[in-house]
A and B are shown apart, each in its own frame.
Chain A
Amino acid sequence: MSQTSQMAPAVAEVDDARARRLRTSLDMLKDLRELVQFIQRAKAEIAAIRPDEIKDRHLTIASDELDAIVSATEDATNEIMEAAEAIEGIAAGIGGDQADAISESVTRIYQACSFQDITGQRISKVVGALKHIEAKVESMVTLLGGREAAILRAAKVVEAADEDPEAKLLNGPQLPGKATSQDEIDALFG
């Protein structure tokens, strides 16, 4: 038997081993490519959510509006209570059955006014939930990194320019301190 034919099985074994290593490497490369594509898709999806805008604009608006609700309901409740207290004072001067009837109705007003406490607590829960969302959004913004964040900011500028001008007029009630007063509006009419 020639030396070549004696070595053939060993050579074949080496070739097989090399082929197996090559297949393993190709498989790993394929897996890595798929992983990279997955990460890129995930980043693109996160960027499409615009976490920067959610955090800096929408969540801030939501939080400010909720604070304004609590403040407005507190003011209104105090007005109602003051009026009810005044009525009670007047009733005390009348006396008799009429005073008792008035006092009973005033008591119902006091009881109803406790809504402000309940709504305040519910709003606090909502604010807590928003803060939790904000923290998650912050994590997403960090995940995106500098380059993508810059792309987001550029996209915001383009979006602002494309907005329907009349849509910008739909803002709802203004926050206290920022609202234009009736006198200021009247002044615009001369």
Chain B
Amino acid sequence: MAVDTNIPILIVDDYKTMLRIIRNLLKQLGFNNVDEASDGSAALQKLRQREYGLIISDWNMEPMTGLQLLKEVRKDAHLAKTPFIMITAESKTENVIAAKEAGVSNYIVKPFNAATLKAKLQSVIGAF
């Protein structure tokens, strides 16, 4: 059964243009129920106010990084099972390992293309 493309998605990035890019690419894939946050702390606040079916987050943000956000999400019993995709320019093996150990669902390296985003989304939330 295909995934409901109306699932609420939270995208987190400190660059407004990147938020806009991801939002537009998600829209092209049929996902229009998208919220934004500019860093990990703001994202955590939103996550505690509303249920999301997916989190897509950058890594390098202040005051809370994407990795710290991921760890907070996985620590919280209500949020722990939320799929989490990291989209980041951090491409070293040690970064990917750290994210995996923290419980990331999948990892996309910037710059990325729409096909990669679609493939990773499908691998995490299912076919659509």
Contact = CB atoms under 8 A, between A and B. Distances in A.
Nearest to B25: A110
B45 to A, nearest CB: 23
Most buried by A among B21, B25, B28: B21
A103 interface: yes
Interface string B1-31: 0000000000001011110110011001000
Contacts of B18: 114, 116-117
Chain A interface extent, by class: 10 to 19
Given A74-B17, A78-B20, A114 B60 contact: no
Nearest to B27: A88
A116 B19 CA distance: 12
A111 B22 CA distance: 9
Q: Which of the listed residues A78, A110, A117, A118 has the most CB atoms from chain B within 10 Å of its own CB?
A: A117
Nearest to B58: A117
A101 to B, nearest CB: 14
Contact of B112 (A74, A77, A85, A111): A111
B17 to A, nearest CB: 5
Nearest to B24: A110
A47 interface: no
A40 to B, nearest CB: 45
Interface in B85-128: 89, 110-114
Contacts of A74: 15-17
A13 to B, nearest CB: 70
B17 A81 contact: yes
Nearest to A85: B24
Contact of B21 (A88, A114, A121): A114
A107 B114 contact: yes
A111 B89 CA distance: 14
B20 A121 contact: no
Interface of A: 74, 77-78, 81, 84-85, 88, 103, 107, 110-111, 113-118, 120-121
Interface of B: 13, 15-18, 20-21, 24-25, 28, 60, 89, 110-114
